[in-house]
Structure 1
Amino acid sequence: MDQFQDGQHVWLRSRVRGKYLYARGDGESVRLREGRASLKAAWAVHRHVGIDGVEYVLLHSAAYGRYLAATDDRAPLHLCGYRVVLQNYDQDPMEAIRWQAVNPPGAAEDDVLLRQVRHGHRYLRANGKIQRWIRGVSVDDPQNITTMMHWVVEPIPAMQGLPPLPPPTRDRHPGDLSVWLGFSPASIRTIRYVRADDDGDYPELEEVWYALHFTGRSVHRLRGLLRDELAKDDHVAAADLIMCVRAGRHGRLTPLVVNLPHHGDTFQIVLIMNGTPGVQTASRFLSCIPPCLQP
């Protein structure tokens, strides 16, 4: 467990494949990828003590905020075991997102096994040892422990400030011909948002949050829309807004500095005003990513 310090960011590299655990652009699935210079390859560590007194490691995506979770669904063809997905942290306890870091006997000192706490302690594993084109990630039963379950935890040094937003993009809208032909469909989703006070506090019950419908994925355009909404009651500049994803009622805040996932799910966003004490209050949830990582 010492490899995972609460609030830090890490990369997870497969010892055998040499590739990194990576959140895909759908915001729901994971895979292996060579490069690590992306927010989608970074994972924030959330140490959690359960009501049983046991401490667990929770890992949420630095890009989308959702938590790495095991399921009971069989993995797709060519993958061993069961599916791994990204999920919101909506209830506590939520065993699907709880992991324990175990040092495999006889392995390299910095190798870890990530053991799931549910259903017989399945382990996170890479796939494609022989069929190298396979890049899926899954969980498999303890009877099948192999070096494909060995992961190297690489700490990411923190930086001051948040990464810049990606360049503005033109979202395709439902009226575009390319959408009607089936290319690059526009994602229509509900954005539920709330503004934190100057101390960083905000109501947890989503029922009292505001809502708007948003088409597309552009984080630039979303920030502009939220700025316009807040400007109805107060003068707000776009640069003043720090948008933070809350992936479920118990999820930690994750700065939103990438374009939204392809799928049109509901997004929960907490707005923190830059320059307020609330930024410092929330700083342990806003640990930052080095500038080498591109959104």
Structure 2
Amino acid sequence: MDLFADGIHVRLRSRVHGTYLHADDDGIGVSLRPRGYDPPLAGVWRVHRVQRHGIDYVLLHGAAYGRYLALSPGEPAPRWCRGRRAVQRGYDDPEQDAVMWRPARTDGGRGDYVLMRHVYNGTLRANGRFRIWNNGVSIDEYFGTRSTMRHWVVEVVPPRQGPPPLPVPSTPNLGGCSILFWRCNKEEPEASRRRRIRYLRSDQPLNFGQANLPAFCFYGRSVLNLRTQVGIRANEGEVFGTRMCVQAGLYGRLTPLVTDLHHSEEPMNIVVYTAGAPDAEALVYPDADAQGP
């Protein structure tokens, strides 16, 4: 547990493959990817420590999408993977077991490798020892230490000074449409899909469980376009001075939103900050490009 200090950013590297635990851009799956795989922040996780009934637990939420690493108890692992499915999901209940982990060193405290033991059942496992094309991650219904497929190396990701630049929208042809809405007949089908965005200002009580919150429908995945829409509506038109955090679930911690959105059409909860304000300057951004081990 000493490797998982509250609030730090980490990567989890498979001992066998040398690839990293990655939050997939569908907003649900997790997989093994090389370091720097696009978007680089999808391979970075932030530690969220909680205590329940006197026991310490580690939760991990993705630096790209804010969603939590979890067990999906009702779903078997994908084909060629062992155990149950590992997923991303929101943290919606303080008694929610699916997102709770109890890491342990493989040799009682002296080794370089960690077991990510799920509180409910099993251990986080890389797959594909003999099928190298298999980049799946699952939760093996077994707590043993012998298989190196369950061994992970924890790499700490340092913070960077200030937020990174937001990615430019990737759709090449605007077709004469307003960049504010980024929707027209010539766009890719993804841009015609919409999700509901609910938002609060950072100086308001953080409670997305209340009714009648301000909201709007947003098309596409561009975080740059989302900042424009949010800045116009919630920040008195101060678009370039707007910063955003996403909250995945009512008990999820805030994650700075600097990566294009995942593909899921699930509603998103956004907290709006103004650049230069003390609470905005206190936001922590991991340096995904920093050279590590």
Alignment TM-score > 0.5, same fold: yes
RMSD: 2.2
1:210 counterpart = 2:214: yes
CA deviation after TM superposition for structure 1 residue 272, in Å: 1.3
Partner of 2:227: 223
| Superposition TM-score, scaled by structure 2 size | 0.88
* Structure richer in helix, relative to its length: 1
CA deviation after TM superposition for structure 1 residue 105, in Å: 2.3
1:191 counterpart = 2:197: yes
**Identity score, percent:** 41
Tell me which amino acid in the other structure corresponds to 1:3: L
Distance of 1:82 and 1:173 partners within structure 2? 39
Partner of 1:274: 275
Q: Is residue 214–residue 222 contact of structure 1 (8 Å, CA) maintained in 2?
A: yes
Q: SS where residue 93 of structure 1 aligns?
A: coil
Deviations 1:159-199 (A, max 9, x none): 221111112333874734753xxxx46331000111121xx
Deviations 1:39-77 (A, max 9, x none): 000000001111x11000000000000000011211111
Greater alpha carbon shift after TM alignment, 162-171 vs 65-74: 162-171
Tell me which amino acid in the other structure corresponds to 1:212: F
Partner of 1:243: 244
CA deviation after TM superposition for structure 1 residue 201, in Å: 4.7
Tell me which amino acid in the other structure corresponds to 2:221: R
Q: Is residue 20–residue 36 contact of structure 1 (8 Å, CA) maintained in 2?
A: no
Change (3 A) 1:124 1:143: closer
Tell me which amino acid in the other structure corresponds to 1:97: V
Gaps in structure 1 of 5+ consecutive residues: none
Q: Is residue 273–residue 279 contact of structure 1 (8 Å, CA) maintained in 2?
A: yes
Deviations 1:190-228 (A, max 9, x none): 00111121xx75444342421100110111111111112
1:13 counterpart = 2:23: no
Q: Is residue 82–residue 139 contact of structure 2 (8 Å, CA) maintained in 1?
A: yes
Distance of 2:109 and 2:2 partners within structure 1? 16
Gaps in structure 2 of 5+ consecutive residues: 175-181
Change (3 A) 1:19 1:177: closer
CA deviation after TM superposition for structure 1 residue 36, in Å: 3.7
Tell me which amino acid in the other structure corresponds to 2:107: P
Partner of 1:39: 41
CA deviation after TM superposition for structure 1 residue 108, in Å: 7.0
1:83 counterpart = 2:85: yes
Q: Is residue 187–residue 262 contact of structure 1 (8 Å, CA) maintained in 2?
A: no
Distance of 1:177 and 1:109 partners within structure 2? 52
Q: SS where residue 40 of structure 1 aligns?
A: helix
Q: Is residue 11–residue 36 contact of structure 1 (8 Å, CA) maintained in 2?
A: no
